[in-house]
Amino acid sequence: MMVLDGKIAAQAVKNQLQEQTAAITAQGKPSPHLAAILVGNNGASETYVASKVKNCAETGFRSTLLRLPQDCSETELLAKIQELNQDPDIDGILVQLPLPAHIAENKVIEAIDPRKDVDGFHPSNVGRLVQGLPTFIPATPYGILLLLDHFQVPTKGKHAVVIGRSNIVGRPMSILLSSAIAQGNCTVTLCHSHTQNLKALAAEADILVAALGRPGYVTADMVKPGAVVIDVGITRVEDATAAKGFRIKGDVDYAQVSAIAGAITPVPGGVGLMTIAGLLKNTLQAYLQNRG
Ligand code: GUN
């Protein structure tokens, strides 16, 4: 059994990005600049955004964190996005999700200039992804592709089963794995809350991607011996013995499944770290595309 260690793979990607960035700044050019907008102070979102900012610094990127209050209006947020769209010194823009219920997520996503949409959530970028055109691949699916690449996991002709159809992970992941790309060419089954026989379908997967957000959902009986298991879950579960009062649990029952899988991502230390690597790669891509 191979552990697909996100720490190792993410570090390899970040080292490469750091070198590329150093080469840019050595020419006297400015470094890539990411703008992140955080509305309110959801605990998990705070953690993710802080990690994005920290990783930018480690890579030699600049980042700006813009905070808006939980009760800010949709108009205010849209105005802020317009400002960033028009700022030539901003290469990438991300609005941390989820947003408060009174703000329409789709309106916000559509307001971001697709050329700066480093999350790859804008409908025009999603359309490009579906058609196999150059685009920004959403950070988590991108990170998973980078992980499969790093550990040289073969995908061609394999049966991939993705559990979860979110716009952020499951849906784009299913499209990418079926695409004619290096980490693609799979036959893909996309499972969701209305899937019948999910357990039996999962058990047929050569590559199983769990992205449904239910801690410990994937048990050993749902996994084919030798399968590659990618755990996207990052749910906070209460744990009185943990320093913060919670710990992070994946969608896969790691103890059970690691005993029969051929390869598996740990949680934490797996896909989560790769997500950041994907975002950083998109930010450099935006810089190179927009500033030449
Ligand atoms: N919330 C959960 N995942 C993501 C992500 O990849 N990007 C943003 N902006 N928000 C998220």
Predicted confidence pLDDT, tens digits, the chain (292 residues): 999 999 999 999 999 999 999 999 999 999 999 999 999 999 999 999 999 999 999 999 999 999 999 999 999 999 999 999 999 999 999 999 999 999 999 999 999 999 999 999 999 999 999 999 999 999 999 999 999 999 999 999 999 999 999 999 999 999 999 999 999 999 999 999 999 999 999 999 999 999 999 999 999 999 999 999 999 999 999 999 999 999 999 999 999 999 999 999 999 999 999 999 999 999 999 999 999 7
pLDDT at 67: 98
Residues in contact with ligand 1 by the CB-under-6-Å rule are 94-97, 119, 139-140, 168
The two domains 29-113 and 139-272 share their CATH topology (first three levels equal): yes
Q: What is the pLDDT of residue 270?
A: 98
Q: Whose CA is nearest to atom 9 of ligand 1?
A: 96
Amino acid 292: pLDDT: 73
Q: Token pair 């500033």 is at which residue?
A: 291
How much distance in Å is there from the Cα of 168 to the middle of ligand 1?
7
* Domain 139-272: CATH architecture, name and number where available: 3-Layer(aba) Sandwich (3.40)
Q: 249 catalytic, yes or no?
A: no
- For a pocket test of ligand 1, which of 65, 119, 121, 140 has the largest count of ligand atoms closer than 8 A to its C-beta? 119
231 is a catalytic site residue: no
Between CA 97 and CA 110 the distance in angstroms is 14
The answer to whether residue 119 is catalytic is yes
Domain boundaries, the chain: 29-113, 139-272
Task: Give the distance (Å) from ligand 1 centre to CA of residue 216.
Answer: 22
CATH number (3.30.1490.20, 2.40.30.10, 3.40.50.300, 3.40.50.10860) of 29-113 reads 3.40.50.10860
